Amino acid sequence: MFIWKKYKNSSFILKMTIGFVLGIAVGVMFGHGAEVLKPLGTLLIKLLNLIATPVVFLTVVLAVNQMNPKQLGRTGGKLILYYGTTTAAAVLIGLGLALWINPGESLSLPNAAVGKPESPSFSNIILSIVPDNIVTAFSAGNLMAILFLAIVIGFTISGMRFSSEEKMQKYGGLLHDFFDAANELFFRILQGILLYAPIGIFAIAAASFGTQGWDTFKSLFKFTSVFYLGIVILWVVVYSGSLKLFNISVRKFFANTKEAYTTAFFTSSSIATLPVAIDGAKKAGISEKIVNFSLPLGAVFNSDGGALRMGASIVFAANVSGAHFSPLDFVTIILVGTLLSIGTAGIPAAGLVTLSAVLTMFNLPLEIVALIAGVDAIIGMAGTASNVIGDVVGAAVVDQSEKNRERKEALREEKLV
């Protein structure tokens, strides 16, 4: 009982890292004999596949219906536009670097069933977003259709909750509570799966290293390098470029907010870093009204680090499984990666869950999720720091935009006088 409590209360990152390292050791020591552990890894894959779709759907519904249409207004619209743009840029950076460096090309999963991705026409992709019926969308695992339903349902519930009619408010509240309760249910199931995850990671790492040895290690090192190079580009080009575009001093901004992104890096928690991020944003001269609105919104909606990881992971998975994507497939990946990263930024183990959903969508082996989970701690640190600083940059950009608008209006009024 003591050992179980100790295990249960230990850091998730620590457990995953230990499981991965022990798996490597067992794989190297026992070679092909480590394949006997493979069923334990297969069980984790099945559990992730089981939970991915409902968690993504419910999380996106709740994230969207938290938006009050009346309060969102101009400031919220600017923030959502910023989040969408930077998240799409992050996916694109991850995809581009991975296609250039090709992590995973020396690795293979011979026993994994891989379906050749279809290359539908653009019109078919658009039409597939709207399902024939709700049940078909879920039974077929049509992620685009599921996201469409989640957004439509979320906005509709939001409209009901903030309606002027008391009856609609009541129904909207009931629906919100229902989805909130369902979300809590699946989160509790997910927490149980995550307790098992280190064991599954141990088994898959042992089987992979046992059959392919250091090719696995080199491929994961290459993948991690792609991710960190992408983070550097994201910060230098996207974040610094956004600040310069609005005449905000890049050096002063990063100096004033250093506590926020360093805390995020070492804790790997956007929510835990939120108070520090709010304090840093105020030090950077961002108005309190914008800070208090945008940073909590960003914690729910914005996940640039996760988006970059998504882009790189898809190419890694394709290289490992020998799949080939058409240009239209990559457009779909950018769109889906953006929507998923915006919608599921705040969920636990978001990277594992959303990657499982996307790999399923493209008929790629879910064993890749477990392999990437082995370096999740290293990736999660930089990813979380990017999520947090991306939120603060967004707040700074929107705040400066509002100040510029107010100045223009003041000048216009002076001319009229």
Dihedral sign for Cα atoms in the order 7, 9, 12, 18 = negative
CATH of the domain at 118: 1.10.3860.10
Most confident of the ranges 69-73, 103-107, 159-163, 191-195: 159-163
- Mean pLDDT throughout 381-406? 88
Taking the mean position of all CA atoms in its chain, how far away is CA 331? 17
pLDDT given at position 143:
66
195 confidence band (pLDDT: 50, 70, 90): confident
Most confident of the ranges 70-84, 209-223, 241-255: 241-255
pLDDT given at position 116:
43
235 confidence band (pLDDT: 50, 70, 90): very high
Position 33 pLDDT exceeds 50: yes
Q: Is residue 265 part of a domain?
A: yes
93 confidence band (pLDDT: 50, 70, 90): very high
Residue 156 CA to residue 152 CA, distance in Å, equals: 6
Q: Which two tokens stand for residue 27?
A: 């794989």
pLDDT given at position 174:
94
Q: Is residue 22 part of a domain?
A: no
pLDDT given at position 119:
45
Identify whether the C-beta of residue 54 lies closer than 8 Å to the C-beta of residue 274.
Answer: no
Per-residue pLDDT of 111-139, as tens digits, reads 544 444 444 455 655 666 787 888 877 87
Per-residue pLDDT of 177-191, as tens digits, reads 999 899 889 878 878
Position 157 pLDDT exceeds 80: yes
pLDDT given at position 200:
84
Residue 130 CA to residue 112 CA, distance in Å, equals: 31
Position 348 pLDDT exceeds 60: no
Q: Is residue 14 part of a domain?
A: no
Backbone φ and ψ of 229, nearest 5°: -65, -40
Position 414 pLDDT exceeds 80: no
pLDDT given at position 32:
80
Per-residue pLDDT of 266-299, as tens digits, reads 666 676 677 788 888 888 888 877 887 778 777 7
Residue 213 CA to residue 347 CA, distance in Å, equals: 33
Total domain count for the chain? 1
Q: Is residue 2 part of a domain?
A: no
Per-residue pLDDT of 274-283, as tens digits, reads 778 888 888 8
- Mean pLDDT throughout 73-102? 86
Dihedral sign for Cα atoms in the order 258, 352, 317, 30 = positive
Identify whether the C-beta of residue 280 lies closer than 8 Å to the C-beta of residue 256.
Answer: yes
Triad 322, 324, 327: Cα angle to 5° = 160
**Closest by Cα among 376, 363, 208 to 306:** 376
pLDDT given at position 114:
43
Position 253 pLDDT exceeds 90: yes
Identify whether the C-beta of residue 195 lies closer than 8 Å to the C-beta of residue 13.
Answer: no
% of the chain with per-residue pLDDT over 90: 14
Side chain identity at residue 173, one-letter code = G
Q: For residue 338, what are the domain limits?
A: 29-406
Residue 374 CA to residue 12 CA, distance in Å, equals: 12
Q: Is residue 9 part of a domain?
A: no
pLDDT given at position 113:
46
pLDDT given at position 263:
79
Identify whether the C-beta of residue 256 lies closer than 8 Å to the C-beta of residue 291.
Answer: no
Residue 32 CA to residue 43 CA, distance in Å, equals: 20
Q: Is residue 322 part of a domain?
A: yes
